[in-house]
Amino acid sequence: MDMPTESEVLSGAEIVIRSLIAEDVEYVFGYPGGTVLFIYDALFKQDKVKHILVRHEQAAAHAADGYARATGKPGVVLVTSGPGATNSVTGIATAYMDSIPLVIISGQVPTTLIGNDAFQEVDFVGITRPCVKHNFLVNDVKKLAATLKKAFHIATTGRPGPVVVDIPKDITAQMATFDYPQTVEMRSYKPVVNGHPGQIRRAAELILSAKKPVIYSGGGVVLGNASEELTEFTKMLGYPITQTLMGLGSYPATDQQFIGMLGMHGTYEANMAMHECDVLVAVGARFDDRVTGDVKKFCPDAKIIHIDIDPASISKNVQIDIPIVGSVDKVLRELTRAVKETLQKPDAEALAAWWKQIEEWRAIHCLYYDKGSDLIKPQYVIEKLWEVTDGASGDAFITSDVGQHQMWAAQYYKFVKPRRWINSGGLGTMGFGLPSAMGVQLAHPGATVACVTGEASFQMCLQELSTCKQFDLPIKILCLNNRYMGMVRQWQEMFYDKRYSHSYMDALPDFVKLVESYGHVGMRIDKPADVEGAMREAFKMKDKLVFLDFITDQAENVYPMIAAGRGQHEMMLSPNKEEESI
């Protein structure tokens, strides 16, 4: 008979740390304060879990998020009650919208003071309820370990997401037997993993009957580690594949079957193919409004198959013909087998005609931009970044902020591996780029990590330059400096008669001096001819953070574009482009 293992009696704070160790947590991203001092004291007394001190709690959540996106493991955040907790909310909401597994441990005022408007008290469970997968307030030290176990379980299974565990200070001081559960059994939470066999068979038949098929995949394929399965499935069929902003990298963008990103700033060929397709296979995607445009005009002729782990994603925005709930890797494997078992092949003739049509759309070269300009074109910077970081190998990690630069990075950097393109797609959080890059670099110390940013976004979390210095994070920051909140300016130019209301970035700092003052290297580049050289020099500095301030063409806009409320087939192409094609 097994002897019961001797259980130790530990303080709540020690239980927190021991639970993190039991979960194999490498890094905690945090910032101390009154209600978490016992936990910080317990951190101090051990060396298994490393703490990364950020300079703002928003960055703690983004850094943990970047770590999670780059590794697939949950990111862990530790913040104090009140302002520490509220500062992290933007980061939590960012992770929630992109289904990123995080466990956020927040301090809370002692149980005896809860509800008294105590110093630094805020109802954090209440504040975060709409932007977490789940949250807990621990009111009994005996439940602490089991609650943390549940938090990790919920964050990482099913459709992942952030989970908050709010721990009152007195609980962290009280003693209890530490007994970390090996498994969790929750009658109220049992995500479905296996797709329904009947639905899979029906889907296989529909897929084979298609004359104009399109595969549309999203972030779910990245989160569900299903790139290989997606690639095999797509190759087997020979069908065109398009991806969402969040899906990029889970199918190699350099492959002929890849027809580019879809949606508002997707390629012409991807959006046209969507509009005209007769069978759409959506995999781990959620029919976001930035993808569908006007839903009434979305894929008007298509029968739609939707594979997703989250039943609530199905038929939320667009009515689905064949839903398959399950984990994308399993379902894709079964679907691939089901297609093979029919012993039928896709309609070769129809497929050839379909590809011919797609190649005609592709021949428009919708991502064309003026290569003869005296000004640095942002698209050119990204193309060079791809070359300098050996984009074809797919090894570099690229994070981004939010705005035009994000769209250019998505359009011009051809991602060939999953978990390499790290950006805030759902919430669109400016300030995400640098702190998320910190998490990525910590997860992959030897890897090339670049952050593509804009001068406005960068200023939202630039205090993290200090964290980067303290922890020697040699991130390469590429700032596409157009002296505007470019994306805002673009909308004002197009839809508000060029009234550039408060979108000019006045009083910019000298970024070179700024980063130098933190002990990093800065470079300013204002001529196209210097772009590549500067970049090569920067990426050679393996152990330094280098900030490249590219002074780019202020007037450049992101094309192609589907204006809000328009259909997929109503794309605006670059004006340059239109002149050229006349």
Partner 1 sequence: MRHIISVLLENEAGALSRVAGLFTARGYNIESLTVAPTEDPSLSRMTLVTRGSESVIEQITKQLNKLVDAVKLVDLTEGLHIERELLLMKVKASNNNQREEAKRLVDIFQGRIIEVSENSYVLEVTGRGEKIEAFIKAIEPSLIIEVVRTGASGIGRGNRSLQV
Ligand X SMILES: Cc1ncc(C[n+]2csc(CCOP(=O)(O)OP(=O)(O)O)c2C)c(N)n1
Q: Which does 133 bind (CB under 5 to 8 A by kind): partner 1, ligand X, none?
A: partner 1
- Binding stretches for ligand X (CB under 6 A): 401-405, 428-431, 454-457, 480, 482, 484-488
Q: Which of 44, 48, 119, 371 is catalytic?
A: 119
Q: For 133, what's the count of Cα atoms within 13 Å in the CB-facing half-sphere?
A: 27
Instruction: Provide, rounded to whole angstroms, the least separation between the CB of residue 422 and ligand X.
Output: 16
Q: Annotated catalytic, 169?
A: yes
Q: Which is nearer to ligand X, 7 or 554 (CB)?
A: 554
Q: Annotated catalytic, 119?
A: yes
H/E stretch holding 29 reads strand 27-30
Joined together, the tokens standing for residue 89 give: 């909310």
Q: Which of 57, 229, 334, 383 is catalytic?
A: 57
Instruction: Provide, rounded to whole angstroms, the least separation between the CB of residue 431 and ligand X.
Output: 6
Q: Which is nearer to ligand X, 363 or 508 (CB)?
A: 508
Q: Which does 401 bind (CB under 5 to 8 A by kind): partner 1, ligand X, none?
A: ligand X
Task: Please report the beta strands in 139-256, taking only residues with DSSP state E, as ranges in sequence order.
Answer: 162-168, 175-178, 213-217, 241-243
Separation of alpha carbons 559 and 368, rounded Å: 9
Q: Which is nearer to ligand X, 451 or 534 (CB)?
A: 451
Q: Which is nearer to ligand X, 224 or 522 (CB)?
A: 522
β pairing state of 8-11 and 175-178? antiparallel
CB 320 within 8 A of CB 298: no
Q: Which is nearer to ligand X, 455 or 549 (CB)?
A: 455
Contacts (Cβ under 8 Å, ≥6 apart) of 363:
none
Separation of alpha carbons 204 and 194, rounded Å: 16
Q: Which of 487, 535, 561, 571 is catalytic?
A: 487
Q: Annotated catalytic, 360?
A: no
Cross-strand partners of 106:
79, 166
Q: Cis before residue 560, ω within 30 degrees of 0?
A: yes
Radius of gyration, alpha carbons of the chain: 25
Q: Which does 480 bind (CB under 5 to 8 A by kind): partner 1, ligand X, none?
A: ligand X
- Binding stretches for partner 1 (CB under 8 A): 125-126, 129-130, 133-135, 137, 139, 154, 186-189, 310-312, 314-316, 319
Instruction: Provide, rounded to whole angstroms, the least separation between the CB of residue 304 and partner 1.
Output: 14
Separation of alpha carbons 51 and 274, rounded Å: 46
- SS3 category, 27: strand
Q: Which of 149, 150, 169, 577 is catalytic?
A: 169
Q: Which is nearer to ligand X, 43 or 367 (CB)?
A: 367
Separation of alpha carbons 321 and 298, rounded Å: 14
CB 65 within 8 A of CB 95: yes
Q: Which does 137 bind (CB under 5 to 8 A by kind): ligand X, partner 1, none?
A: partner 1
Instruction: Provide, rounded to whole angstroms, the least separation between the CB of residue 263 and ligand X.
Output: 16
Instruction: Provide, rounded to whole angstroms, the least separation between the CB of residue 557 and ligand X.
Output: 10
Q: Which does 129 bind (CB under 5 to 8 A by kind): ligand X, partner 1, none?
A: partner 1
Q: Which does 221 bind (CB under 5 to 8 A by kind): ligand X, partner 1, none?
A: none
Instruction: Provide, rounded to whole angstroms, the least separation between the CB of residue 456 and ligand X.
Output: 3
Joined together, the tokens standing for residue 150 give: 């549940």
Q: Annotated catalytic, 505?
A: no
β pairing state of 449-454 and 397-400? parallel
Q: Annotated catalytic, 57?
A: yes
List active site positions. Answer: 57, 119-120, 169, 487
